Amino acid sequence: MQIHLTAASKRFNKEWIFSNLDFSFVGGQHYALIGNNGSGKSTLLQIIAGYIGLTKGQINWMNDADQSIDSSNIYQHISIAAPYLELVEEFTALEQIAFHQQFKPLQPDLKPIDILEKIGLSKAADKQIRNFSSGMKQRLKLALAIFDQAPILLLDEPCSNLDQEGIQTYHRLMQAYGMHKLIIVASNDPQEYQFCKQQLTLSDFKK
């Protein structure tokens, strides 16, 4: 998988968030989106995920056969964990995983309870998500993204609301299940993207 940005620009109202960004993300590589608050890290991540469009320029998603992927189907190739994505509060943890699997396949060798065991939530398997702490919710969001079979993994401030144990769990999961993917992390916290060999500073593309 590859993602190509050509003269990519995004404006909200009269303010350009970033402008004339040319960049390519290559399959199997790991990238960090960094920059000042308001530089467009989360915005670019949402554009890559197909949630919102560019104001100017182009984004092209290419598969391994160098064929273009339509934006309406890109969700099948991408998994994402972000603070603005919500879980279904009425579901239990097991129900949330089962619901996710109706749309996106997870690792075939892991049962839902195995996934909860790996993120330290097995004892909360039948607990409604509405009763989870913010850290527990973040662990579940990360699990759904990392254990997804999609080749592209997008992470927006992945360690938000996590305690030190949760941060260690995040790094273990990434090493065990994520390193073969194209990973893009939006963050200003080095501990969240320490495995990323390449960095894209969005502040450099401010008008």
Mean pLDDT calculated for residue range 146-175: 95
What distance in Å separates the CA atoms of residue 132 and residue 104, rounded to the nearest whole number? 23
State the total domains in the chain: 1
Q: Could you read off the pLDDT of 54-93 as tens digits, one per residue?
A: 999 999 999 888 888 888 889 899 999 998 899 999 999 9
Domain that holds residue 70: 2-205
Whether the predicted pLDDT of 108 surpasses 90 = no
With helix as H, strand as E and coil as C, how does the chain read? CEEEEEEEEEEECCEEEEEEEEEEEECCCEEEEECCCCCCHHHHHHHHCCCCCCCEEEEEEECCCCCEECHHHHHHHEEEECCCCCCCCCCEHHHHHHHHHCCCCECCCCCHHHHHHHCCCHHHCCCEHHHCCHHHHHHHHHHHHHCECCCEEEEECCCCCCCHHHHHHHHHHHHHHHCCCEEEEECCCHHHCCCCCEEEEHHHHCC
| pLDDT of 67 | 86
Q: Could you read off the pLDDT of 165-195 as tens digits, one per residue?
A: 999 999 999 999 989 999 999 999 999 999 9
CATH classification of the domain holding 123: 3.40.50.300
Q: Retrieve residue 86's tokens.
A: 């919500």
